Amino acid sequence: MVAAYRRGRLLKLVRNPHFRVWSQDAQPDGYADAIVWKLGHAPAAQARAVERGTGDVAFDSEGFSPGLVSELQTRYASQLRGNTLARTTYMFLNTRLPPFNDVRVRRALNYAVDRESVVRAVGGQDFAQPTCQFLPPGFAGYRPYCPFTIRPAAGVDWSGPDLAKARRLVEQSGTRGTAVTVWIPSNPAQGGREREGAVAVPLLRSLGYRARAKLVPGGKYYGEVGDSRLKVQAGVLSWGADYPSPWNFFFLLSCRSFVPHTGRNPNFSEFCDRRIDRQITRARALVASDPALATSLWTRIDHEVVDQAPVVPLVNPKAVDFLSRRIGNYQFDPQWYLLLDQLWVR
């Protein structure tokens, strides 16, 4: 229960004093009697507190710098925990506007993109891993699938770009030379994606398009790119699930989520495939009654979305948690991340 809260400074949680221990297994001695969460501290300050022994957990890992993570790996490797997040960073392609109303162009971008360069742009392998899929690892139905790579094979992830195949597809489409504007959210404090977005314009230019970037403050970005009246061709963003269900990703590409002529359209690709939508509806209906069949449907949906290429999946971000030496029973949930209440304290 909440024992204290000071806005922007501190949150203190304590065991419920009215809880009656009915089993020692339900409340072993190792669990903390109180959790004090200090708010508003920079990631580096959190890490230094753990180093000094004045803190037990630093888990604002998306704010850790590559240099700090490298230092912690060198000095405290046994106290670090790395995990892939339930999040996908990607380019959306407006399937109703040239040149992306041609599936060959959308596939060409998926073939041509160097996902490893995106990994490097965000800090390296401790911060992200390449992906060809919209659905992140750990979700029901996720099975590795990447037809858009230099060495495609069943069950194999991305291995490298195939620029030659990408250029052939662009030539077949007859769209070479088209002007393309890529919208990129700025300001990291508001979900900015400038590091990932820096890959997008060179990618398009390598395929012969006249590309430029348009930086938009993160607070305005989603309302503007979701307004079909602004004719946004492409953009970069990152989506993390609010709920651990594949639907939480696929609704972004469903017919029902496309709300034209407003700033409230979450389907930035303006993608609509009625057959895929029917499969989504069936999978959602089967989750409770036949979860195995629902899972197989989610796999099929994910792979069909990859084939239709309304987006260019880039990376799945990662988290790094830094623990003090007295912490045990570390548990990580793909939806809720580090489970603070499950930590043991010596």
Segment holding 318, helix H or strand E: strand 311-323
Q: Please report which confidence band the pLDDT of residue 278 belongs to, taking 50, 70 and 90 as the band edges.
A: very high
Least confident of 75-79, 96-100, 295-299: 75-79
Q: Please report which confidence band the pLDDT of residue 59 belongs to, taking 50, 70 and 90 as the band edges.
A: confident
Whether omega for the bond prior to residue 99 falls within 30 degrees of 0, making it cis, is yes
Say if residue 76's pLDDT is above 60. yes
Alpha-carbon gap, residue 15 to 45, rounded angstroms = 27
pLDDT at 8: 86
Of 18-32, 158-172, 262-276, the range with the highest mean pLDDT is: 158-172
Q: Please report which confidence band the pLDDT of residue 190 belongs to, taking 50, 70 and 90 as the band edges.
A: low
Say if residue 296's pLDDT is above 90. yes
The domains spanning 2-84+319-345 and 88-317 adopt the same CATH topology:
no
Say if residue 41's pLDDT is above 90. no
Identify the residue whose tokens are 């939480």: 248
- Give the distance from CA 127 to its chain's centroid: 11
Domain 88-317 listed as CATH 3.10.105.10 = yes
Mean pLDDT of 51-69: 84
Two structure tokens written together for 12: 């203190």
Two structure tokens written together for 195: 């590091």
Q: Tell me the pLDDT of the chain averaged across its residues.
A: 91
Q: Please report which confidence band the pLDDT of residue 22 belongs to, taking 50, 70 and 90 as the band edges.
A: confident
pLDDT at 244: 85
Q: What are the tens digits of pLDDT across the range 4-15? A: 999 988 999 998
Alpha-carbon gap, residue 286 to 275, rounded angstroms = 17
Alpha-carbon gap, residue 81 to 78, rounded angstroms = 8
Say if residue 75's pLDDT is above 60. yes
pLDDT at 26: 63
Alpha-carbon gap, residue 129 to 88, rounded angstroms = 10
| In the chain, where the domains are located | 2-84+319-345, 88-317
Mean pLDDT of 248-263: 91
Amino acid at position 261, single letter: H
Mean pLDDT of 146-163: 90
pLDDT at 189: 56
Q: What are the tens digits of pLDDT across the range 201-246? A: 999 999 999 999 999 987 789 889 999 999 999 999 999 988 889 9
CATH fold group of domain 2-84+319-345: D-Maltodextrin-Binding Protein; domain 2 (3.40.190)
Give the pTM.
Answer: 0.89
Q: Please report which confidence band the pLDDT of residue 28 belongs to, taking 50, 70 and 90 as the band edges.
A: low
Task: Report the 10 Å Cβ neighbour count for 32.
Answer: 17
pLDDT at 49: 92
Say if residue 168's pLDDT is above 90. yes
pLDDT at 62: 63
Residues of the chain above pLDDT 70, percent: 96
Higher pLDDT, 340 or 148: 148
Mean pLDDT of 275-297: 96
**What's the burial of 54, exposed, middle or buried (CB within 10 Å: 0-12/13-18/19+)?**
exposed
